[in-house]
Every structure is written in C-alpha cells, then in structure tokens.
Chains A and B, each alone.
Chain A
Amino acid sequence: MSQNVVVIGGGPAGIEASRRLRDLGYTPILIEKTPVLGGHLARWDRLFPEGIEARTVLDPMVADLDGIKYFTETEVSSINRLKDTWVVKLSNGLSAQVRAILLTTGFDLFKAEKKEEYGYGIYERVITNADLEDWFKSGAAPQFDAVNVIGFVHCVGSRDEKAGNRQCSKVCCVTAVKQACEIKEKFPDATVYCFYMDLRMFGRKYEDLYLKAQKDYGIRFVRGRVSEVSEDNDGHLFVKAEDTLFGKPLKIKMDLLVLMAGMAPAADNHQLARMVNIQTGEDGFYLPQSIIGSPCTSSREGIFFAGAATGPKTLPETLSEAASAALAIDRYLKTPQKK
C-alpha cells in the first residue's frame, strides 16, 4: 500500500500538490474546511493578465482527483507527534498516521469592513474586489440607477500597519487594473479611476495590461491613497484622496467604489502552527526554513508548505510551489529513517 501524506487546505496549492504527490506514488489525504475545493480561485471569474476564465484552470484540476482521498467540510482536530510520524485527527472522526504533512492553508481575504473609513458594509455602493468577481461570474449586477463614475481603491488592508498587514499583497494592483478594464467594458461611458500608492506590475504581461488600461480603456490613474468616503442623501459617494503627483487633495463624487481587499494570513494559521509546533512570522504567515533556498520546508521534520500560506503569491507561483513541495516531500520520505 502506498504511503499517505496529509495535505491541509483544498485550494489550488493543495489540489495541485496532491495531484503531484499521487503522480509520485503516494496517497494524499486532502482536507478542506469549506464545502468546495478550489479556495478563492473557485470564486473568481477571470484571471490576470490575459483574462482567461478561472474555471479553465480549476476545472481540469478538480476533475483529476483519482487516487486522492479528499474530505470537504472537514477540519483538523488535533495533530500529535508519535515517534517519527504525525497522527492527524479530523473533525469527521477519521485519523491518519503519516510522516509528512503539507500545509496549503492559503490566505484570508482582508475584511474590508475593518477599514471603517471606506464604509464597506455601511454604504451600499462600496463593494470589494471579491464582490465584483461574484457579480461578473453570476452576471447578477447590483441595481444602481446610474453608474458613471467608478473608483478602485488599491491596498485595502495591504501595506497598512493600522490594519495589521504591513505586507504588499502583490496581486491587487494587477487585479485592480484587470477589473477596471472589465468594468469599463460593462459601462463603456463610465469614468474609471484607480487610486494607488505604487503600481506594482512585476509579472510577465502585467505591464502590457497596464498599458492597455491606459491606452485602450482610458482608465485614470491617481497616485494617492483614499483616506475617507462619505455619502450623500441619495447614496452617492464622496471619495477623498490626495493627487500626490499634482499635489492637491481631491474629492470626487462616485457611483461605485471597489475596494481591493488584500491578502491577510489565514486565521487558522496560529492554531495549526501550535499543533505542530512551528513558527509564524510577525506578519502571521508561516516561516519556511529559507524564503529563497527552501520555501517549502518548515523548521519541523515532516511539515511542509506551499502557496500563500507563507505569504502573498500569484496563482502561477502557487502552482509551481505546490510542485516543488511535492518533490521536497518525496525526497524526505525516500530518505532512510533515522533510528
């Protein structure tokens, strides 16, 4: 019988790593706490930079789970060390004894209502990037009378000490540009603004997307962080920011404001870290042995990481890290056990 490996977290990292491990001859046990596999990707409509549909990536992955035992709506109750193995007890009553555990717990979308000054949850016309994807995906747009001016607020809960997240979430800049173009397609007459602190277009074709947004879509980029949002009697928004390049404060009346909620460490990280006695960093993400040399190995034997559990990552980065993690686990399991 082939050896079991427990993979905690059924997002793209967990699914991809499980498939790789299966291909290497192991039997992965994939645990997902929500009812569906796919993580945040399952909720997303289209992916940057080229705008392909998220399901074209996810569906083939989910269709290829033969040889993988997976449990949805299942959580880890406890993990204990027994000699050189880990005993993992699950909330569904099952338990597994394995030599390797892979943590692919991903990230939590920052709760935008925590930035009260933006009025998410208070003002109807303030939504998040995830809400917008829901809208694109389902086609069920919220009913607003006229949507003529639309704003995107970058760095909501990212690069923000007050929100408890100092890190850059990496993907929001390009997501905002992608979504700005998409919404411009839906409302061709609308004026669309992106309020950014710095535009981080680091990946291949990201800069092209930015250029297209400027040139073809006429998106207006304002370098300045939105400081507060108020509302008039009709529910229209007043957005305040400074145009830092021009050096003047702005107050723009808007019909829709999209908050680019960033990546926050998963809330369960601390609990899992305590179970297996590993460290999380000051930022709340897991600490690998080396973020350059061995991003998938932890400080504890038999505990591995992949994906956004160790910090914000793009989808391709997550997928390739899942593959590396599978190889790292394979090498570990093939190393003769020390007596």
Chain B
Amino acid sequence: MIDFGYGLTPSSTLKIENVANPAFEELRQREPDVAKCIACGSCTASCSAGVFTEMSLRRVILSLQRGREKETLPMLQHCMLCGKCLLVCPRGINTRHLILSIGKVYKMEEDR
C-alpha cells in the first residue's frame, strides 16, 4: 500500500454527542444550580484566587459539562471559598456549595 504519510492520531474534536456524563448528572443532583450558568465570567473576574492563579469557575463548570474535568479540577485547589462569586453571579448560583459539591463528586488524580 502506498504510504500517504498520515498516521492515526486521536481526534482533537470535542465529543459531546454520545458521551454519557454520569458524574455531571450526580453533581446536578447535589447542586442543581450548576445547570443555570450562562458563562458570563463574573465569577472568574471577581475571584480572589484568580488574582494569583488560573482559577476560573466558569471554565470549571463548562469543562464538567463537557466531560473534560481533568483540565480544570486542579484550579479548584486554589479556591479560598471567600464567596465573592456567590455575590456577583447574576443567576444566583450557590457557587460555594457548587465548589464543595464538585469535590465530593469528582476526584483529583493522585499524580497531579
């Protein structure tokens, strides 16, 4: 066979159509507010930890919804639970409880 020089590499497309996301469903049971996010970024902009780190709650929520939690879970390690995001969220999401709940549903990988 002729070698066209292409190999099999994992696709970089986000697979959201057929991926079951039971962890996210469990999170939704614990804190239904997670579904209310409109990704306005207020939480990230006001974040006390965000001044010093990459912490972005908006990105965490989105990555959980997409089943790509590995990328953002480490951010939550920096959260001081100060509650500023709770105050600025226009949707009234109980962000502190959401963060605490994420810690109960998702597990950080040990080696990180």
Within the complex, are A and B direct neighbours (CB within 8 Å)?
yes
Q: Which residues of A contact B (CB under 8 A)?
A: 117, 155, 159-163, 197-198, 223-228, 240-244, 247, 249-250
**Which of A162, A163, A228, A244 makes the CB contact (< 8 A) with B40?**
A244
Interface size class of chain B, counting residues whose CB lies under 8 Å from the partner chain: 20 to 34
Q: Are B46 and A224 touching (Cβ within 8 A)?
A: no
Name the CB-closest residue of A to B59. Answer: A247
Q: Which residues of A contact B87 (CB under 8 A)?
A: 162
The one of A161, A224, A227, A240 in contact with B92, judged by C-beta atoms closer than 8 angstroms, is A161
Q: Is the CB of A225 within 8 A of B45?
A: yes
A161:B90 contact, CB within 8 angstroms: yes
Interchain Cβ contacts within 8 Å, total number = 65
> Does B65 count as interface, using CB distance less than 8 angstroms?
no
Contact A250 to B88, CB < 8 A, known contacts A197-B38, A197-B40, A244-B40: no
Among A162, A198, A228, the residue within 8 A (CB) of B45 is A228
Interface residues of B (CB under 8 A from A): 38-47, 50, 56, 58-59, 87-92
Please name 27 pairs of A and B residues whose Cβ atoms are closer than 8 Å in the assembled complex, sorted by A. A155-B90, A161-B91, A162-B87, A162-B90, A163-B90, A197-B40, A198-B38, A223-B41, A224-B40, A224-B41, A224-B45, A225-B40, A225-B42, A227-B41, A227-B88, A228-B46, A240-B45, A241-B41, A242-B41, A242-B42, A242-B44, A242-B45, A242-B56, A244-B44, A249-B47, A249-B56, A250-B45
A159, A197, A198, A240: the one within 8 Å of B46 (CB) = A240
Q: In the docked arrangement, what's the CA distance between A170 and B42, Å?
A: 21
A309 to chain B, nearest CB (A): 24
A288 to B47, CA, bound (A): 42
B41 CB to nearest A CB, Å: 3
CB pair B92–A249 under 8 Å, yes or no, is: no
Of B41, B42, B58, B89, most buried by chain A (CB within 10 Å of CB) is: B41
Given contacts A197-B40, A228-B45, A242-B41, 19 further A-B contacts (CB under 8 A): A117-B46, A159-B38, A160-B90, A161-B90, A161-B91, A161-B92, A162-B90, A197-B38, A224-B45, A225-B41, A226-B42, A227-B88, A240-B46, A241-B41, A241-B42, A242-B42, A244-B58, A249-B45, A249-B47
